[in-house]
Amino acid sequence: MHVTRRDLVNALASGGGAVLAATFHVAGRLRPTAKPLHPRGRVVRATLVRRGLSPACGVRWLDEPGVDEVLARPSRATGLPASLPDIHGLALRVPLASGGHGDLLFASTGKGPITRFTLTVSRSEQRRPLTTLLPYRAPAGPLLLAAFPTAPDRFDLACASPRGRWRVFGDLVLHDVAVVDADPVISFDPVLDTVPGLEPYEWVRRLREGAYAEARRTR
């Protein structure tokens, strides 16, 4: 039987996804009343002003200017005390014209051609770039998103090909008003809830879907 490169990548991703799902299962057993990962966080309202892109990348949400009132959740991955370094996360829930929503997840990384795929730690989400870590399938090819801190609770949102330069498409401002009782129940899921034009690759879906399903189950 001929095995293609895509078959091999998907198989490896499925194996990796099983490991991640097991990790989330263990974390959920250890933290039965909290999120398995990123347990420390807050859900706040935020405003995203999209500048648009020229030349366009083929994703309407990135290419066209607009204003979105979004939900944002800054968080710490392992839940260590604030005085200690941790991997930081930023989740965004974007309203869609269809009436649904799309979720985007960012984690603290570098921003170079290699380091944008490497998780990093710091004491604050304001000290490191945050990227989607894994690429989306976009009309013009693989695309990553990033959030670059510019001031307290302010970020430039940008996109780039896996090894390309970052192009800023929007300004994100987090408001210092928590959404009451939202954090324990809201679940950001970039596999189930996507922004049109930013579709997970099959290998990304296989890598993530088990972990997110386990996270929903344990909660």
Mean local confidence (pLDDT), 140-166: 95
Taking the CA atoms of the chain, what radius of gyration do you get in angstroms? 17
**With 90 as the cut, is the pLDDT of residue 164 above it?**
yes
**With 90 as the cut, is the pLDDT of residue 55 above it?**
yes
Lowest mean pLDDT among 41-50, 157-166, 203-212: 203-212
Tell me which residue of 170, 92, 167 sits closest to 125, measured CA to CA: 92
pLDDT at 181: 66
pLDDT at 165: 96
**With 90 as the cut, is the pLDDT of residue 190 above it?**
no
pLDDT at 8: 37
**With 50 as the cut, is the pLDDT of residue 43 above it?**
yes
Cis? peptide before 55, omega within 30° of 0: yes
Both tokens assigned to 159: 């996109």
The model scores a pTM over 0.85: no
**With 50 as the cut, is the pLDDT of residue 19 above it?**
no
Tell me which residue of 204, 196, 189, 183 sits closest to 117, measured CA to CA: 204
| Mean pLDDT of all residues belonging to the chain | 80
Orientation angle between helical segments 5-30 and 202-218, nearest 10 degrees: 20
pLDDT at 66: 97
pLDDT at 210: 52
Mean local confidence (pLDDT), 136-152: 95
Mean local confidence (pLDDT), 71-98: 89
What percent of the chain is modeled with pLDDT above 90?
Answer: 52
Give the distance from CA 5 to its chain's centroid. Answer: 26
